[in-house]
Amino acid sequence: MTTADAYSSAIAAARTNATANAANAGAVSANTTNTLTKLAGNFNDFLSLLTTQLKNQDPTAPMDTNQFTSQLVQFTGVAEQINTNATLGQILTSTQTQQLSQASSIVGDKVAFTGGTLPLQNHAAQINFQTQTAGPVQIAVVNSSGTTVQTQTINAMAGANTWKWDGTTSNGTQLPDGAYSIAVTADGAAVPFQSLGTVTGAEQVNQAVQLQFGGAVVPYSQIVSLSAAGG
């Protein structure tokens, strides 16, 4: 594989990460309240239809017992579904509250996370990755618009590796702090990595807890460790 092809693979992967990161930052989770409202509406509609059917049935040909029983079973099923969703909603809210509390407790700490976001903070960013064998790996960084701002080839060691970035472009221009996306590849294949950053805030957006790293936002679920080595 030529160097140009290797960089193309890394850049494509970084742009894919950028798209996914943008989706994460603006994601809107399903709203449990709306779901319960719709279920309650279905419940009331069913009850209204059943009541109307009973009131207007032909006295000489009353509703078949089996049909009546079947509709009652449906009636009960809807009610149970509403109650189950309400319980799940309460559990979800409790879990989210606990997650937000946990997330708030690590503000100021350095953490490692997956997902491809690379927060540039005080002109410094870092990733950790591992390779099975020593050899060249390609690193590509893109901005929020998908423009490639930095590409490098480094000779990785077998085992743990660290790459640090000072926020400059390939031609030496200093970029502002904020959210970037990164990918690491070797021979065109993705190399798993973890980004590092210092948590500056935590918030709950709809039903997802997110951590802030300056101008970067990362889902709390992507955090893998605190005080990662190499920080």
Q: Which residue has the higher pLDDT, 158 or 68?
A: 158
pLDDT at 33 over 60: no
In the three-class reduction of DSSP (H, G, I as helix; E, B as strand; rest coil), residue 172 is classed as coil
Confidence of residue 26 (pLDDT cuts 50, 70, 90): low
Chain centre to alpha carbon of residue 212: 13
pTM: 0.62
Q: Using one digit for the tens of pLDDT, what is the confidence trace for 65-99? A: 666 667 666 666 766 676 676 666 655 555 656 66
pLDDT of residue 29: 39
Q: Which residue has the higher pLDDT, 108 or 208?
A: 108
Q: Using one digit for the tens of pLDDT, what is the confidence trace for 119-153? A: 999 999 999 999 999 999 999 999 999 999 999 99
Are the C-beta atoms of residues 62 and 53 closer than 8 Å to each other?
Answer: no
CA distance to 99, 104, 201, per residue, from 209 (Å): 7, 10, 11
Neighbour-count burial of 8, counting CB atoms closer than 10 A to its CB (0-12 exposed, 13-18 middle, 19+ buried):
middle
Q: Which residue has the higher pLDDT, 1 or 27?
A: 1
pLDDT at 102 over 60: yes
CA atoms of 10 and 193, how far apart (whole Å): 13
Share the mean pLDDT of the chain. Answer: 79
> Residue range 185-192: average pLDDT?
92
Residues 6+ apart with CB under 8 A from 160: 128, 129, 130, 229, 230
Q: Which residue has the higher pLDDT, 118 or 75?
A: 118
Neighbour-count burial of 60, counting CB atoms closer than 10 A to its CB (0-12 exposed, 13-18 middle, 19+ buried):
exposed
